[in-house]
Chains A and B, each alone.
Chain A
Amino acid sequence: MSRYTPWLVLLFFVTVPLWMRDQYYLHILITSGIFIVAAISLNLLLGYTGQLSLGHVAFFGIGAYTSALGSIGFDVELFGYILVVEPKPVWLAFITGIFVAGLAGWLIGKISFKVRGAYFVIVTISFAEVVRLVALNWIDLTEGPMALNNIPPITLWLPGQGETTVWRKLPNYYLVLAVAAIAFELVRRIVQSRIGRAFVALRGNEPLAMSVGIDVTRYLVIATVVSAAIAGAAGGLYAHYVRIVDPDIFLFIYTVTMVIMVIVGGKGTLWGPVVGGVLFGILPEFLREVAAPEVQWIIYGVSMIVIVFFLPQGIVPALSRVTHELRVAASPIAQDTKEGEG
């Protein structure tokens, strides 16, 4: 991928609302965008460090709940005292959500990485389930299944316009696009740095990585914290766009959706989660026209299996193999030096 690809893609997405006026499709793009941010975060953990973390939706949900609660205020009884939190400005709640999600990542990471392999998969699933059940049962704080309602949309200070509250779809679209672009860039910087190399090293050959001084647990926790924080940002975006948050946000099926996006798109590549997110964010909408919901899911399930059988590395690596071959075929003398994409 050339240096200009990210800019071109960004430009494309910036211009989309100019030619696509349908509000419904814009809504689809927004929700897909939110999922793409979550997928980008999961890719850091699943793709680059190779850890099968299947509790990722917990960070998404923690970000959503924290941001929502921060912006609408709450009171809760804790150890006999009543804690009252007044509604805070939305941007502050959003940032807090990121921070709390990152903190959760740190805690869960430190505990979960005491084990590996299948055990690790199970403990991450368990953490997410515990968080879901807490959200469901701690009604005092979270309203449980009655959900947090009337969450205010994000209020931003924009140059030239002062304080704007992002009610309408169009500004929400650009907000999500901005966060997605930032998340992409942050992950790119990490992945192309010494830290990113440590991730790839411990994924590829853990004993060898340790032998050259890489503290595996430390880097795994770093990956989890960053990954969780970005997922928390996605959750915050979700909370202030959809404006209702309930414990169903923690369902395992959403983790599965993110995992599908990352792996089918191409884990361990920068564009994989984007491609996967676009595909699995938009695909349901096309399928909705032609098939009942159950049939749609059957199609997903089957298409996942098919893709895994035929393109086990995902779409992006397969595409880059094809373009590589095309390039070689087009000019056999060309020297091809690949950017280290990890």
Chain B
Amino acid sequence: MKPTVLIAEFTEADALLAAARKSRAAGDRVLDSFSPFPIEGMAELLGVTSTRLRLVMAIGGLGVAALMYGTEWFSAVIDYPINSGGRPLNSWPAFMLPPFAVGILAAAIAGFIALLWETGLPRLNYPLFEAEHFGEASQTRFLLALTVPPNRKTLAPTRARLRKAGAVAIREVPT
């Protein structure tokens, strides 16, 4: 049988999550869900748990903070040393604020880039955007995308299961 993606539409987040759990237990492959706000537990169900996003933020932030401190050190110690009231040229406590502020900004930028990297955005078009009523997923509806293993002969049991779980509409999207 040709692989087909089923999009089941729900009116509530909890119904979608319950349906996703049941479908998975019955052997269907849950691909993704599309919802107007995050559904707690869905990412775990899809097996998305680890991310390097925070690591990237930490590296970016600390790296730029070090660079900023290096700039201060170079300018105040090597290139333009001024004796200001006998204070040490490398007055590190007084030099801390610019690296701190700039480091946090750099962490934010690095994280944003990592977020785009992880999500694959910006991607202005997506095959599912063509699917009927897909735009509802950013408004009031919760969509569950799943597919059945290739050895199954019919979609009927899956459809019945989704109906029973509260799906208000089920659409087939050819792949």
Q: Is A bound to B?
A: no
Which residues of A pack against B, CB within 8 Å? none
